[in-house]
Chains A and B, each alone.
Chain A
Amino acid sequence: MQTSASSLDEVLVVGYGTVRKTAFTGSASVVDNEALEKRPVSNAMQALEGVAPGVTINSPNGQPGSTPSIRIRGFGSMNASNAPLIILNGAEYLGSMQNINPADIESLTVLKDGASAAIYGNRAANGVIMISTKKGKQGKPVLTISYSQSLSTRGIPEYDRLEPKEYYELMWEGLRNFYMDDEGLSVEEASRWASGLEAGKDGIIDELKYNIYDVPNNELVGVDGELNPNAKLNPLMAEDTDWFDQISRVGIRNTVNMTYSGANDFTDYYVSLGYTDDDGYILNTSFKRLTVNSNINSQVTPWFKTGAKLSAASVKTSGISDGSSSSFINPIRGSRYMGPIYTVHQHDLTTGEYILDGDGNRMYSLGDDRGAGADIGRNFIAENLWDKILNNNQRIRANVYGEIRFLKDFKFTANASLEYRNNYNSTSDNPIIGDGAPGGRLAKNFIKVFNATYNQLLNYDKEVGKHKIGILLGHETLIRDIDDFEGEKRGQISPGNTELINYTTITELSSEFDKYRGESYFGRINYSYDYKYSASFSYRRDGSSRFSRKSRWDDFFAVGASWYLSSEDFMKELTFIDKLKIKASYGELGVDAGIGWYAWQALYDLGNNNATEGGVTRATLGNEDLTWETSVSFDFGIEFELFERLRGSIEYYRKGSSNLLFDVPLPLSSGLKEYTANIGEMDNSGLEIFLSGDIIKASDLRWNMAINFTTLKNEIKKLPQEEIITGTKKYTVGVSRYEYWLRQWYGVNPDNGEGLWIADDTESSEVIVIDGISLTNNFNNAKYAYSGSAIPDAYGSVLNTWEYKGFSFSVLMTYALGGKIYDGAYRTLMNLNSPGDALHLDMLNRWQAPGDITEVPRLVMGAGSTYNVTDSRWLTDGSFLKLSNITLAYNLPKGMLNKLSISEAKIYISGENLKTWNHRKGMDNTQNYSGTISQKYQPSQIISFGINVTL
């Protein structure tokens, strides 16, 4: 799985070519197909988890087929994209990774340093991931067949929440306290009201609307705040309160791949067919992918070579809405925050019997008998079953090239990469409940994308004695055309039919055409003496249509050098050193992604009509000077191999970004929220360590352990204004972009149970002083301060691999040390703003009587926003250890296989995302780089079984 030990002539895929590893001056990590096989994931990017220092991936969405986001060596951009450039078979890949069958991938190469990425110039500031697909190999034709089956379940458990008994009791207490505060009642009177003993008052059930015990509403919770000891849960209702259980299942994935390939002296060929059918652990979520891939290359004449890689993919997904965490139909959100007393279905409130429709089916609760905090009028289970979010996308991609060799050392290559992609989305909302009700709603969206990259490369390679020189000159154009067509109608006519013709009223109908153009000139010189001393120089000039004529072109260059010490005579004495290389590189890079296609232009938005009269509104301020964001990378490292057992590398990197593409906030009073400008500078630096040791190296038993360790320091160096506050963070010079800026929570006042913050205005009338600190119970007067960073101090992985005879067993652990998570989900569970929403177990620690020392304020129903605000109370240590993967594989003995005319066969069992140890049950540490938590479709835990057979 790790960068494997290299023999002297091993080559590495780099931009527009290959290079011998010994002469490579940059920093790269390679994941080969063998390593990919160990991670039976449907999306190849998931296999990058833990493989290389300096590469971070956040946890993938549980939606089958989804792509995790990846960061290489930190966060170079503020508002522009931080995503690495993906190069598929030599041309930029702009589509979704889910369209690529991992089984077709020969290798993934991650270019981390500035110099090796610099040949991709202004597009490569965030690093480069190069994907090469498989090709046929010399020898007899080979047929391979593989099959795997996986079972998936929720990978991260739910937070600990209150059960019905405690829930009713705490809600009662919150209501009683509310009556005391707002009605000025005595404890006794307020208790009677809350218990529903006052004429005309139902007390707590008046707020919660639902009683799943077998006692009358006003006998449920006594005036002492205890649940009636004689009350028993109505079994039919109680069994119907586990919402997550009813929307989830064990997901099943089946994957089949078949390839045949081969090569003779003139032609090599590779053809594959792959099919994946993946049903997620949430009902109605699925992913189906069919891929066909071919790669044919022919040496037509000694001087002319040509080839084509053709691939087609069809992907169908059915999903749930979790794009916005606040969506009422997001089942993760819905099941997390639903009070433990509400039923999925309608019940007779006296007997608890299910209410059945005319056909005898249980009827879903329409949510009218719930407290204010429990999604009144909604039912995410019914809505997810009745609504449909379907996506159907097809991709056809062709890479064709012609290569001419002339004058012995020259080679000219023309490449064309053409891609057509269609994306057809259909979102239907049912007419019974939810956003589609009443009437029903249907939205269709068709996106057609054409991507083309054309490049022309001239290579000159010459070897004279021990001198080796390689020169590359190139030109590239990038074309991207996007058609977007969308329509929405309401008023479904006949049930079941979700085509627009079956709806009455158009609520949206629109189309749009966008285009992007890029052009580049570049060159590179590689020089090496005896593979001992190597140097590389590259230059690139890029233009982008995102910028005005005045400022769209920019120039970049990079240099790198390496010294292969172990080839020196004076090192021969040190026999324990098998390999030693020192390298350093410097590169300038840029980025234009992540901002609007027409970011420099001052525009009015069309289509903002005043009823039937056409209307336009002011959209952007424009900025003619807008240009490329740039970064300067420096990398220094050593690579070594000792005692024929220990391999590794230690690298220091530093990446300084400047001219940051910045959405500079404007005062709202200016009429616009922000404008895009090149302002700001940011630094990322850190240390990357990789060690791989053969602990046991016997003839039939091997044990290898590989360790990754990365540190990252991010620091803002320059800003457009003194400070920019965004969400839970504040940007100022000298701190990281993920530094929390929060109200300073102090704790709970033991005298009265009020929440306290450190006071900003210490002269204010409500300020009290405890232990010499001025405190306030008014969050509007709370002092803000820096409260730690979301970026871990260090992160990495540990991989152990054992091989015994035909068996191999590997265990991958990933970890992060330090960093803080702002646990907004926990915060919501600690809020008694509205009756009806679920509460965290920690609420049991609430303040109850003077003298109580606790972190949880006195419960007052409806007073949620008084003490439950964005502040430092919700920060949690982000350190974690995760059991990411375990794989056990067995290569069947050749002797047995030969009898069956099979040349190789392997069976394996593998587990993904098996267990996480962290500081709060339920918290998903790696959900966002910013350290915040949303109600995302959580990553799956996957157990797979598979077999690969080669004929």
Chain B
Amino acid sequence: MKRYKLFKISIFAIVLSLVSCNKEFLDTAPTDAGGITTVFSSAANAYTALNGAYYIIFKRYGGNNYGGHQAIMIGIDGMGEDYVHTGSHSRIRDAYRWRAHTNATHRWNEFVFEHYYELIGNCNMILDNIESIPDNPELVEQIEGEALALRAWAYSIIIQLYGSKYVGGQTNSQLGVPLVLSAQSTEGQARATVEEVYAQITGDLDLAYDKLEGKERAFKSHIDQRTVQLLRARVALTMEDWAAAASYASEFKNDYLMSADEYTSGFNNIENKEWLWGTIRIDEQSNTFGSFFAVISPNFNASTIRNNPKAILDRLFHAMSDTDIRKANFWEDGDHGYTPPSGKVRPYTSSKFLAKSVSNSGGDVPHARVSEGILIEAEALAKLGQEDAARDVLFILANHRDPEYVLSTNSGQDLLDEIYFQRRIELWGEGFRWLDLKRLEQDLDREDSNHKSSYCVTKYEAYGTSRWNWLFPQSEVDANPNLIQNDL
């Protein structure tokens, strides 16, 4: 009897235990990530996806040399002649040496490509799903406008790296970059022509301009309508569409220009009214050695700053007037007083960009400023032959920076050269110089200067060699059979 009872209990236990757990038992969800449908379930949620896209601008891709767009700003300036390494410490040095973009397997080369396409992919996700967001149409429109502008901005940079320059007044059928406009496509796309890419950029910017009409932004880390206007002018200048560039840029000459005090206070505060758009860096996201200021500032205590403080090209320095406030950001004897303990003092070093402190590499980073708009207008007017107007516009900026500056009497190429000079000293370190060299078909010339050949390796490169077009990263070539590599 006892046995029998036991048997029953056992069978009961077995049946109980063999019964499946309920269906939800195997359903799990992460706490550090969210599903796509949640992200686009409301405008407020989609806005976090937009902020994620802005985050990518300063996202760090592994090592210290891969701090998003801001590392690329340093690389692009470094590939020109105005930004000088004074020591051998190797931060973002291969770009400076022209050894990164000419090597398809170089990680820095891959990082640049990966960075902008990740940004584009995130914008594409937003644009793919924008229609399905059910609430707050006003905010949805703003999100859409910003995503369009961000995507256009990213394309406007990479098209200049991988494609041959856009030549104004003709159809540019040379190969550009893959024009990916939807996050759904995972098939490798062939390169669109430079013409097609620019058509997309200008179209997106026009649309963004309309969408952002009347929209207020909470933070200057977001693109607003005025920023779009500057981006339109920047793109038109690159397309050598002088009339459009002059027209888009015309509104900036009446805008705020920073005071001499502000100009020498470190370029690290987005509240500066001359800044149209920038990245805000809070301490929690300083990235320490991956920060912009951990490479380019004179004051943060990093090996690269102690051993390789960054300088301006000596002849560019000497070409500046002593009364020009911009000259005050560079030090012929290197004695700017910011050198960290045991750091090297090197001639012509810069104090334009200052880290928050010797132990805090944080600081906001500018992506668009009013002065660039003025320079664009002056250059475009000069190209259009409206030299009087060009001189007047140039005077507004140059005189503001240097009270002794008198209205230019140059004309023709001399006037253009003067405008280019103003661009170089105004925008040093902000990620323009190499793009300008390529746009203006100028040679890279670091000869007879404070560039040391063992640091820079490439001292001279005539414009137009195959090395002016970046190689696509090998990983893209491998995974995208439709992509045609640039000439070695």
B6 touches A598 (CB 8 A): no
Counting chain B CB atoms within 10 Å of each CB, which of A475, A722, A724, A835 scores highest? A475
Cross-chain contact of A669 among B14, B23, B103, B188 (Cβ < 8 A): B188
Query: Could you mark each residue 669-688 of chain A with 1 if its beta carbon is under 8 Å from any beta carbon of chain B, else 0?
Result: 11111010000000000000
Q: Does B307 contact A (CB under 8 A)?
A: yes
**Are B10 and A404 in touch, CB under 8 angstroms?**
yes
Pair A617/B56 contact, Cβ less than 8 Å: yes
Q: What are the residues of chain B within 8 A of A367 when measuring CB–CB?
A: 303
Interface residues of B in 34-55 (CB under 8 A from A): 34-36, 39, 48-55
The interface bits of chain A over 491-510 (1 if a CB of B lies within 8 angstroms of the residue's CB, else 0) are 10000000000000111111
Contacts of B21 in A (CB 8 A): 477, 519
Report the minimum CB–CB distance from A670 to chain B (whole Å): 5
Residue of B nearest to A477 (CB): B21
Query: How far in angstroms is the closest Cβ of chain B from A12?
Result: 27
Chain B residue nearest to A863 (CB atoms) is: B457
- Chain A residues in 8 Å Cβ range of B114: 668, 673
CA distance A610 to B105 in the complex (A): 31
How large, as a class, is the contact surface on chain A? 35 or more
On whether the beta carbons of A377 and B26 are closer than 8 Å, the reply is no
CB-CB < 8 A to B27: which residues of A? 545, 549
How many of chain B's residues touch chain A, expressed as a range? 35 or more
| A456-B474 contact given A544-B26, A598-B30, A671-B183, CB 8 Å threshold | no
**Closest B residue to A440 using CB positions:** B359
User: B26–A671 contact, CB under 8 A?
Assistant: no
Q: A368-B306, A671-B180, A861-B454 are in contact. Are A513 and B28 (CB under 8 A)?
A: no
Q: Which of A368, A439, A521, A665 contacts B359 (CB 8 A)?
A: A439
In the complex, whether A136 has a CB less than 8 A from a CB of chain B is no
Asked, given contacts A406-B7, A608-B52, A667-B476, whether A517 binds B26 with beta carbons under 8 Å apart, the answer is yes
Q: Mark B327-367, 1 if CB is under 8 A from A, else 0.
A: 00000000000001010100000000000001110000000
Contact between chains at A604 and B55 (CB < 8 Å): no
A376 near B478 with CB under 8 A, answer no
Separation of A619 and B32 alpha carbons in the complex (Å): 11
* Given A545-B26, A618-B52, 10 more pairs with CB closer than 8 A: A412-B14, A438-B358, A491-B359, A616-B34, A616-B39, A616-B49, A618-B118, A667-B483, A668-B473, A670-B186
Known: A182-B453, A669-B117, A673-B114. A604 touches B26 (CB 8 A): no
Answer whether A603 and B35 are a contact pair too, CB < 8 Å, given A669-B188, A670-B185. Answer: yes
In the A-B complex, the 8 residue pairs with the smallest Cβ-Cβ separation, listed nearest first, are A671-B121, A377-B303, A372-B88, A615-B51, A456-B17, A667-B480, A617-B52, A610-B51
B39 close to A668 (CB less than 8 A): no
Contact (Cβ within 8 A) B20 A519: yes
Instruction: Name A511's closest neighbour in chain B (CB-CB).
Output: B31
Does A17 touch B at the CB level, under 8 Å? Answer: no
Cβ–Cβ < 8 Å partners of A507 in chain B:
283-284, 286, 288
**Is A723 part of the contact surface with B, judged by Cβ < 8 Å?**
yes
Residues in A lying within 8 Å of B, measured CB to CB: 175, 178, 182-183, 207, 303, 366-368, 371-372, 376-378, 404, 406-407, 410, 412, 414, 435, 437-439, 456, 458, 473, 475, 477, 490-491, 505-510, 512-519, 521, 543-545, 549, 552, 597-598, 601-619, 621-622, 665-673, 675, 721-725, 761, 764, 778, 780-781, 834-835, 861-862, 865, 869-870
Nearest chain B residue, comparing its CB with the CB of A602: B36
Closest beta carbon of chain B to A244's beta carbon, Å? 22
| Chain B neighbourhood of A366, CB < 8 A | 342
Q: Give the distance in Å from the alpha carbon of A671 to the alpha carbon of B189 in the complex.
A: 12
Q: Which of B280-332 contact A (CB under 8 A)?
A: 280-286, 288-289, 301-304, 306-307
- Rounded to whole Å, the gap between the CB of B485 and the closest CB of chain A is 10
Residue of B with least CB distance to A402: B13
Interface residues of B (CB under 8 A from A): 3, 6-7, 10, 13-14, 17-18, 20-21, 23, 25-36, 39, 48-56, 59, 87-90, 94, 99, 102-105, 110, 113-114, 117-118, 120-122, 124-125, 177-178, 180, 183, 185-189, 218-219, 221, 280-286, 288-289, 301-304, 306-307, 340, 342, 344, 358-360, 453-454, 457, 459, 471, 473-476, 478-481, 483, 488
Give the chain B neighbours of A178 by CB distance below 8 A: 453-454
Task: Give the interface centre of B32, B221, B282, B478 by most chain A CB atoms within 10 Å.
Answer: B32
CB of B4 to closest CB in A, whole Å: 9
- Whether the Cβ atoms of A456 and B18 lie closer than 8 Å is yes
Tell me whether B18 and A597 are in contact (CB under 8 A).
no
Given the contacts A368-B307, A519-B26, A668 and B113 also touching, CB distance less than 8 Å: yes
List chain B residues, Cβ under 8 A from A835. Answer: 88
Judge whether A207 and B289 touch: CB under 8 Å: no
| B178:A669 contact, CB within 8 angstroms | yes
Q: Which residues of A contact B113 (CB under 8 A)?
A: 668-669
Out of A414, A515, A601, A761, name the residue touching B13 (CB < 8 Å).
A414
Contact with A780, one of B33, B110, B471, B475 (Cβ below 8 angstroms): B471
> A473: which of B18, B94, B483 is its contact (CB, 8 Å)?
B18
- B478 touching A725 by the CB < 8 A rule? yes
B14 touches A665 (CB 8 A): no
Of B30, B54, B342, the contact of A597 (CB 8 Å cutoff): B30
CB distance from B355 to the nearest CB of A (A): 11
User: For B55, what are the chain A residues with a Cβ–Cβ distance below 8 Å?
Assistant: 608-610, 615, 617
CB nearest neighbor in A for B36: A602
Would B39 and A412 count as touching, CB distance under 8 A?
no
Knowing A303-B6, A517-B26 touch, does A615 contact B54 (C-beta < 8 A)? yes
Contact between chains at A604 and B88 (CB < 8 Å): no
Distance between A590 CB and nearest chain B CB, rounded to angstroms: 15
Q: Complex formed: what's the CA distance from A406 to B14 in Å?
A: 13
CA distance A619 to B55 in the complex (A): 13
Q: With the chains together, A862 CA to B33 CA distance in Å?
A: 44
Q: Which residues of A contact B303 (CB under 8 A)?
A: 367, 376-378
- The docked-state distance in angstroms from the alpha carbon of A188 to that of B53 is 57
Smallest distance from the beta carbon of B150 to chain A beta carbons, Å? 11
User: Could you tell me if B6 and A377 are in contact, using CB atoms closer than 8 angstroms?
Assistant: no
Cα distance A847–B425 in the bound complex, in angstroms: 46
In the bound assembly, the distance between CA atoms of A724 and B303 in angstroms comes to 38
The answer to whether A377 touches B306, judged by C-beta atoms less than 8 angstroms apart, is yes
Known: A668-B475, A670-B185. A414 touches B17 (CB 8 A): yes
Beta-carbon contact of A456 and B476 below 8 Å: no
Are the C-beta atoms of B35 and A725 separated by less than 8 Å? Answer: no
Contact partners of B13 in chain A: CB under 8 A: 412, 414, 456
Judging by beta carbons under 8 Å apart, are A618 and B189 in contact?
no
| Bound complex: CA A846 to CA B122 (Å) | 50
A226 to B329, CA, bound (A): 46
A406-B7, A671-B124 known; A666 vs B488 contact (CB < 8 Å): no
Pair A519/B14 contact, Cβ less than 8 Å = no
How many whole Å from A476's CB to the nearest CB in chain B? 10
Which chain A residues border B120 with CB–CB below 8 Å?
A: 671
Q: Could you tell me if B307 and A377 are in contact, using CB atoms closer than 8 angstroms?
A: yes
Pairwise interchain contact A870-B454, C-beta atoms closer than 8 A = no
* A505, A616, A781: residue with the most chain B Cβ atoms closer than 10 Å: A616
Residues on B with C-beta less than 8 A from A404 are 6, 10
Please, which residues of chain B bring their CB within 8 A of the CB of A778? 488
Please give me the residue from chain B that is nearest to A513 by CB atom. B31
Query: Which residue of chain A lies nearest to B110 when distances are taken between CB atoms in the complex?
Result: A668
A607–B55 alpha-carbon span in the complex (Å): 10
Give, as a whole number of angstroms, the nearest-CB distance from A383 to chain B.
12
Q: A34 vs B310: C-alpha distance in the bound complex, in angstroms?
A: 66
Contacts of A410 in B (CB 8 A): 10
Contacts of A435 in B (CB 8 A): 288-289
- Residues of A contacting B483 with CB < 8 Å? 667, 669
Q: Which residue from B102, B103, B454, B481 sits with its C-beta under 8 Å from A862?
A: B454
CA distance A300 to B459 in the complex (A): 88
Q: Which residues of B contact A608 (CB under 8 A)?
A: 52, 55-56, 59
List of A residues within 8 angstroms of B54 by Cβ: 610, 615
B72 to chain A minimum Cβ distance, whole angstroms, is 15
A367→B302 CA distance, assembly (Å): 12
Instruction: Name A515's contact: one of B28, B288, B302 (CB within 8 Å).
Output: B28
